[in-house]
Amino acid sequence: MKLKKVLSSFMIFVCSLFLVTGCTEEKVEEKKEEVKAKCSIAECMKKIEATNTVEEINDIIGFESTTDAMIGSDSIWKFDSKNWISFKTSGNDNITIQATIDKENLKDDKIKLPSSSELQKDLNDGSFTYEELVQKVGGEGTLTSISKGSFSYTWVDKSGQKLGATFNRESGKCTVASYR
């Protein structure tokens, strides 16, 4: 009799657990975000110029920009939840076109990033050009920001260490380099 009560209580508990947790045999389909772009985010950035309008960038990328209250009122092109291009304007019609790219997509086994002290020394000794940094790290960077006065590239090594460098358009020299 005692065993029957224990089994009965156990069955009620298990049934209650399924009801409370919502466990059913119903399958939930995951929604995959569909990329509608004409090019990858990195390829699109290579085609975009600091003088492009939102409409011209729409044509380059292949879909219309949107706005996102979390990011601000500027136009953005979302490739997926981790990758997008934003069009930011500031005083005097200064435009910056910036790509946010998941660093997992940028990892490169060939990239060997210099130490931060070595990079700082190079900056202090007259700086360096994009081409010189490419030689030093062993590979091309990914263009991640474009403006009238500068352009920025990002490198990610196999361990996920991320280096960003901004270059002045006029001199071609690096003005800022930072690790993240």
Span 77-104, pLDDT tens digits: 999 999 999 999 887 778 999 999 999 9
Burial group, residue 135, by CB count within 10 angstroms (0-12, 13-18, 19+) = exposed
Q: 3-state DSSP call for residue 90? A: strand
Question: β-strands 150-157, 107-108: how paired?
Answer: parallel
- Average pLDDT estimate for 17-45: 63
Q: For the chain, how long is the longest CA-to-CA vector? A: 90
Three-point CA angle 139, 143, 145, nearest 5°:
145
- Average pLDDT estimate for 38-52: 95
Six token digits for residue 115: 């130490």
For 53-78, the pLDDT digits (tens) are 999 999 999 999 998 766 667 899 99
pTM over 0.75: yes
Expressed in angstroms, the distance from the first to the final Cα of the chain is: 66
pLDDT of 131 reads 97
Six token digits for residue 60: 């380059």
pLDDT of 21 reads 45
Q: Please check whether residue 106 is in contact with residue 154, taking contact to mean a CB–CB distance below 8 angstroms.
A: yes
Q: Please check whether residue 111 is in contact with residue 160, taking contact to mean a CB–CB distance below 8 angstroms.
A: no
pLDDT of 141 reads 97
